Chain A
Amino acid sequence: MTSAGARKGWRSHFAVQQATLLLAIGILVVTVLAYLGFFQSQFQRMPNDYAWDSTITNALPLVFAGVGQGIVVLTRGLDLSVGGTMDLTNALAATHMTSSAGGMLGWSLIILAIGAGIGAVNGLLVTVGRLQPIVVTIGTMSILQGVAAAVLPQPGGSIPAAYTDVMGNTGSPVGVVFVAVILAFWWLLRRRPLGVALYAIGNDPAAAAANGVNVARTKVAAYVLSGTLAAAAGLFLAAGSSGGDATGGDSYLLASFAAVVLGGVSFRGGRGSMVGVVCGAGVLTVLVSLLFYAHVNSLYESFYQGLFLIVAVLLGLGVTAWTSRTRRGGAR
């Protein structure tokens, strides 16, 4: 037998295999610290619960949309309809949701189901229809934007105040609960056969199939999850702004990719963690506040965001190169 060198503990394996995840967590920590620094110098105090709450509430739509996108990217796909789905679900919530408890819960579930349905259509077109994900989702994106505009031609409508209270703006950081929910969801998914299958088809679809993974079913599931999570993102968006806007979700499409990139999920599929994507979404959100407190002219906001993204990607590449330099044993 060839020697594999000294046996390493699980920690070092984790460090090498999840280097991009650790980087994402590191970037989040650095960004939050910088934010606290600017906040402190501005107000001579730490952010109170209200400030935390609003930051986390602002992050929620991107956290959910980003995780959905990340799951699809994990399978070597991409979902351009995330923004359109958010548009439609946001518009539906603003026009239809009633203020009774049953109405809020019922409409939330209906809207999530609509998101799942959109994902199912995407997934079936990609698998059964054998179309490229980019073609399919660019099509559904357009359709959804159109339908959303028909549902809510002008920004407006209303979201029940109670809904806004539950989903955020309670003066205490309840948004954390929803972050915990998505992390718990991911933890569970990783321990279900579907979670294994998502990674497997992203690694190598043919090899996954030879090992008995149902590739088509797994892909459809990925798009269904993405659609559902995008619908949830649309609900959070509605709750946060207490009204609807049929174009409000559009900016989240590119942001969802940015969160995936910052989270260290490989666009070649099969590598990365949604924990990283949650961090990435957090970074992008905190960055906006950071730039605000750093007195950066809001006109230059997207300039700095782009710069930051590119630097983060370069860091990620560096980390990946560094970890792959130590591969395959042999003499040093």
Chain B
Amino acid sequence: MTAAGTERPLLEAAGITKAFGPVRALADGSLDLRPGEVHALVGENGAGKSTLIKVLSGVLRADAGEIRVDGGPADLSGPPAARKLGFGTVFQELSLLPWMPVAENLLIDRMPRGRAGLIRRRSLAAEAEEIFARYGIESIDPREIPDRLSLADRQVVEIVRALHRRPRVLFLDEATASLSKHQVDWLFEVIARQRAEGCCVVFTSHRWKEVEQVADRITVFRNGRKVATRASLDEGEAVMLMTGRRVGELYPPRPRAAPEAGPLLEADGLRADGVGGVSFSLRRGEVLGVGGLAGQGQRELFLALYGVRRLRDGTVAIGGRRRKIRRPADAIRARVGMALVPEDRKGEGLLLPLPIRDNLTLPILGRLSAGGLVRRTEERKLVEKLIGQLQIGGQGGASRRPSEAVDTLSGGNQQKVLLGRWLMAESEILLLYDVTRGVDVATKHDLYQLIASLAADGKGILLYSSDTDEIAHLCERVLVMREGRIAAELAGDDVGTEKIVAASVMEREEAVAGD
């Protein structure tokens, strides 16, 4: 611990407000930061953490409020101004340029220059490699483009870029959300190094363990306001401060399929790009986990099952009958009844500017129509019921109206809308791919309850999560994937966070030793 308490604050922000149209993202954002501390910002989604970070990074302009750096007024008129103050940021939405080589992304504002001020394109890669080496990264090729990297690797590039700008204050907004366990450990080492050098690290995460592990001080946000700043906080207290009410256990009792339940989805020898021969069977009412380190073919498996990626080999049977799934439309079709809820809800599923209603009823418009016209009253009843059932808008909070656009909802609530759509369509098999990524605690809780009740209703659920705890608490059985194959299957008492992590890692080390 540094004797941070006696030092002058590096940054003081008070009374920051920011509104987007009618939505007030920040009502009273305050924060004080000291040199050499790791400061966690916690709060539900939509509590204003990201907005505050964007204001402090110069990406958004505050409507009102005061920001002082080193005791004097600060210029935060744009990202370059923020950078001049020594503020570096890893944003929640990745800000890499997808088709420009990693090296150019890394060095975008400090390209090596040669004669006549021209950029020395030839030395870009070597310079990037050197920077990576400085932070102990060897597995990322600087000549590769981010579009061809895994989400986790892209996040690492983003982090290294922020570090390379040698910030006095480093903002990490949900930087761990897509990282593997190893990468999180790496990041924490980096954070410790920054802290030792007197840099201030501001950290947001929805994983409480991580907050507990790294934070010197914790500031809690709720509804766009700072609620408290504490040197220590236990999880119960934190949830209380974040939500304004006590939330019981985070996870519902583990759902279990009835012993006599038959197989709903049987996959045999599936091969696709990134998937090298995967077989499993999913029973009615079962939550089957897919675990392993990030980027071991889980995403590809889900996409192949859903018909987004071409299956090269293998068969899929639904309810005992073989089905060919070549495109998502085949998967959605009633007799298959398979639905994918991806982690990237913006890119893969929701029509953001359209109302909640249209997003929910899209797949069943045919059933809702008479004579080619949609029966609006019928539709309305269904939609309102579902909004209530899913608690879109938050528990006890003001429910959202069906006509509100989906892009006014927080990430977690958007995820509920997407799930709701498939409930409308009466899908029997749900492929849930990292659905709680970047979702706040209270909404996570809602989603867990929902998963349990769906399983109880007899749906079959295939669940992947980058948070191994989730898999450990929700699944009856877990397939641990490595390099596109199932490396281990855990069931019964073997399903637990440590065992899943051990199975993901041990297999890997054995494989390395065997090479």
**Residues of chain A whose beta carbon lies under 8 Å from any beta carbon of chain B:** 1-4, 7-8, 10, 13, 16-17, 188, 190-193, 195-196, 199-200, 203-204, 206-213, 270-271, 324-332
User: Known contacts A4-B153, A192-B118: does B148 contact A327 (CB below 8 Å)?
Assistant: yes
Interface membership of chain B positions 105-138, coded 1 if the CB is closer than 8 angstroms to chain A and 0 otherwise? 0001101000001111100010000000000011
User: In the bound complex, do residue B59 and residue A209 qualify as a contact, i.e. CB atoms below 8 Å apart?
Assistant: yes
Judge whether B149 is part of the interface by a CB distance below 8 angstroms. yes
Determine how close the nearest CB of chain B comes to the CB of A43; give it in whole angstroms.
44
Judge whether B140 is part of the interface by a CB distance below 8 angstroms. yes
User: In the bound complex, do residue B59 and residue A4 qualify as a contact, i.e. CB atoms below 8 Å apart?
Assistant: no
Q: How far is the CA of A8 from the CA of B150 in the complex (A)?
A: 17
User: In the bound complex, do residue B97 and residue A204 qualify as a contact, i.e. CB atoms below 8 Å apart?
Assistant: yes
User: In the bound complex, do residue B182 and residue A209 qualify as a contact, i.e. CB atoms below 8 Å apart?
Assistant: no
User: In the bound complex, do residue B97 and residue A4 qualify as a contact, i.e. CB atoms below 8 Å apart?
Assistant: no
- Can you list 30 A-B pairs, Cβ within 8 angstroms, ordered by A? A1-B183, A2-B139, A2-B152, A2-B293, A4-B141, A8-B141, A16-B148, A188-B118, A190-B121, A191-B118, A192-B119, A196-B104, A200-B100, A203-B97, A204-B97, A209-B59, A209-B79, A210-B59, A211-B79, A211-B95, A270-B100, A325-B273, A327-B147, A327-B148, A328-B149, A328-B274, A330-B273, A330-B297, A330-B483, A331-B297
Q: How far is the CA of A193 from the CA of B113 in the complex (A)?
A: 10
Q: How far is the CA of A325 from the CA of B139 in the complex (A)?
A: 21
Q: How far is the CA of A329 from the CA of B273 in the complex (A)?
A: 8
**Neighbouring A residues of B273 by C-beta, 8 Å:** 325-328, 330, 332
Q: How far is the CA of A203 from the CA of B183 in the complex (A)?
A: 27
Besides the contacts A13-B141, A210-B59, A325-B273, what 12 more A-B pairs have beta carbons closer than 8 Å?
Answer: A1-B156, A2-B153, A2-B293, A2-B295, A8-B141, A188-B118, A191-B121, A211-B108, A327-B273, A328-B274, A331-B274, A332-B276
**Neighbouring A residues of B150 by C-beta, 8 Å:** 2, 328-329
Q: How far is the CA of A13 from the CA of B57 in the complex (A)?
A: 33
Q: Which of A200, A203, A206, A331 contacts B483 (CB 8 A)?
A: A331
**Neighbouring A residues of B91 by C-beta, 8 Å:** 210
User: In the bound complex, do residue B143 and residue A208 qualify as a contact, i.e. CB atoms below 8 Å apart?
Assistant: no
User: Known contacts A207-B96, A328-B150: does B139 contact A1 (CB below 8 Å)?
Assistant: yes
User: In the bound complex, do residue B293 and residue A331 qualify as a contact, i.e. CB atoms below 8 Å apart?
Assistant: no
Judge whether B144 is part of the interface by a CB distance below 8 angstroms. yes
**Neighbouring B residues of A10 by C-beta, 8 Å:** 125, 143
CB under 8 Å from chain A, chain B span 62-113: 78-80, 83, 89, 91, 94-101, 104, 108-109, 111
Q: Which of B137, B156, B274 contacts A330 (CB 8 A)?
A: B274
Q: How far is the CA of A190 from the CA of B124 in the complex (A)?
A: 13
**Residues of chain B whose beta carbon lies under 8 Å from any beta carbon of chain A:** 57, 59, 78-80, 83, 89, 91, 94-101, 104, 108-109, 111, 117-121, 125, 137-141, 143-145, 147-150, 152-153, 156, 180, 182-183, 186, 273-276, 293-297, 300, 483-485
User: In the bound complex, do residue B274 and residue A199 qualify as a contact, i.e. CB atoms below 8 Å apart?
Assistant: no
User: In the bound complex, do residue B138 and residue A330 qualify as a contact, i.e. CB atoms below 8 Å apart?
Assistant: no
**Neighbouring A residues of B100 by C-beta, 8 Å:** 199-200, 203, 270
Question: Residue on B with the closest CB to A268?
Answer: B99
Determine how close the nearest CB of chain B comes to the CB of A71; give it in whole angstroms.
16
- Sorted nearest first, the 9 A-B pairs with minimum C-beta distance are A331-B484, A330-B274, A331-B276, A203-B97, A207-B95, A191-B118, A13-B143, A191-B119, A327-B148
Question: Residue on B with the closest CB to A188?
Answer: B118
Q: How far is the CA of A16 from the CA of B484 in the complex (A)?
A: 23
User: In the bound complex, do residue A204 and residue B98 qualify as a contact, i.e. CB atoms below 8 Å apart?
Assistant: yes
Question: Residue on B with the closest CB to A204?
Answer: B97
Question: Residue on B with the closest CB to A10?
Answer: B143
User: In the bound complex, do residue A2 and residue B274 qualify as a contact, i.e. CB atoms below 8 Å apart?
Assistant: no
User: In the bound complex, do residue A270 and residue B180 qualify as a contact, i.e. CB atoms below 8 Å apart?
Assistant: no
**Neighbouring A residues of B297 by C-beta, 8 Å:** 330-331
User: In the bound complex, do residue A330 and residue B300 qualify as a contact, i.e. CB atoms below 8 Å apart?
Assistant: yes
User: In the bound complex, do residue A212 and residue B83 qualify as a contact, i.e. CB atoms below 8 Å apart?
Assistant: yes
**Neighbouring A residues of B101 by C-beta, 8 Å:** 13, 17
**Neighbouring A residues of B293 by C-beta, 8 Å:** 2
Question: Residue on B with the closest CB to A210?
Answer: B95
**Neighbouring A residues of B109 by C-beta, 8 Å:** 211-212
Q: How far is the CA of A206 from the CA of B140 in the complex (A)?
A: 24
User: In the bound complex, do residue A210 and residue B294 qualify as a contact, i.e. CB atoms below 8 Å apart?
Assistant: no
User: In the bound complex, do residue B186 and residue A1 qualify as a contact, i.e. CB atoms below 8 Å apart?
Assistant: yes
User: In the bound complex, do residue B99 and residue A196 qualify as a contact, i.e. CB atoms below 8 Å apart?
Assistant: no
User: Known contacts A4-B141, A210-B79: does B148 contact A328 (CB below 8 Å)?
Assistant: yes
User: In the bound complex, do residue A329 and residue B111 qualify as a contact, i.e. CB atoms below 8 Å apart?
Assistant: no
**Neighbouring A residues of B125 by C-beta, 8 Å:** 10
Question: Residue on A with the closest CB to B118?
Answer: A191
Q: How far is the CA of A16 from the CA of B148 in the complex (A)?
A: 11
User: In the bound complex, do residue A1 and residue B99 qualify as a contact, i.e. CB atoms below 8 Å apart?
Assistant: no
Q: How far is the CA of A115 from the CA of B356 in the complex (A)?
A: 48
**Neighbouring B residues of A190 by C-beta, 8 Å:** 119, 121
User: Known contacts A2-B180, A212-B79: does B145 contact A17 (CB below 8 Å)?
Assistant: yes
Determine how close the nearest CB of chain B comes to the CB of A166; give it in whole angstroms.
28
User: Known contacts A2-B139, A191-B119, A192-B118: does B97 contact A329 (CB below 8 Å)?
Assistant: no
Determine how close the nearest CB of chain B comes to the CB of A152; give it in whole angstroms.
41
Determine how close the nearest CB of chain B comes to the CB of A282; give it in whole angstroms.
25
Determine how close the nearest CB of chain A comes to the CB of B441; give it in whole angstroms.
27
**Neighbouring B residues of A3 by C-beta, 8 Å:** 139
